[in-house]
Amino acid sequence: MKKFLFTAAALAVFSSIGAAGAAPMPPTKAAKETPVSRGEVLARENCASCHAIGIKGDSPNAKSPAFRTLGKRYPLEALEEALAEGIVVGHGEAGMPHFVFEPNDIADLIAYLKRINRR
């Protein structure tokens, strides 16, 4: 049986390698996302062609209310059911496209609406 002798320097190198290997990984992009940021992405991808989705600016469709004003029109939590069942609200002749969101998406979108309606 062979015996291995490690010098203090060798042990220090192995220890540092082990410590580096055990170090936690930096958070991924998904870990940094919040309900508000995910809600903003949903709004941008699904709603921004008609609605102003930010804290300023006009809606591209003049008949579509700015998201930052929705809290003045409705209790924002009341929109949860409409988002789950599919909002069908007229915006003039073309009307609003029929959207149905998943529960997690609804929570994220409501979180975003609450954030921009506070300002």
pLDDT at residue 108 is higher than 60: yes
Q: Point out the least confidently predicted range of 71-75, 80-84, 89-93.
A: 89-93
Whether residue 21 lies inside any domain: the answer is no
> CA-to-CA distance for 34 and 38, rounded, in angstroms?
6
Q: Which ranges in the chain belong to alpha helices (H)?
A: 8-22, 29-32, 35-46, 70-73, 79-85, 103-118
CA pseudo-torsion sign 35, 37, 40, 44: negative
Q: What is the pLDDT of residue 86?
A: 72
Which of 112, 72, 62, 49 minimizes the C-alpha distance to 92? 62
Q: Residue 77 above 50 pLDDT?
A: yes
16 in any annotated domain:
no
Q: Is there a domain that residue 53 lies in?
A: yes
Residue pLDDT, tens place only, 8-26: 444 344 344 444 444 444 5
In a domain, 102, yes or no: yes
Give 107's pLDDT tier (boundaries 50, 70, 90): very high
Domain-located, residue 17: no
**pLDDT per position as a tens digit, 36-65:** 999 999 999 999 999 999 999 999 999 889
The answer to the question of residue 28 being in a domain is no
CATH number of the structural domain spanning residue 50: 1.10.760.10
CA distance 102 to 10: 55
- φ/ψ of 99, rounded to 5, equals -115, 140
| Whether pTM exceeds 0.75 | no
**Structural domains counted in the chain:** 1
In a domain, 11, yes or no: no
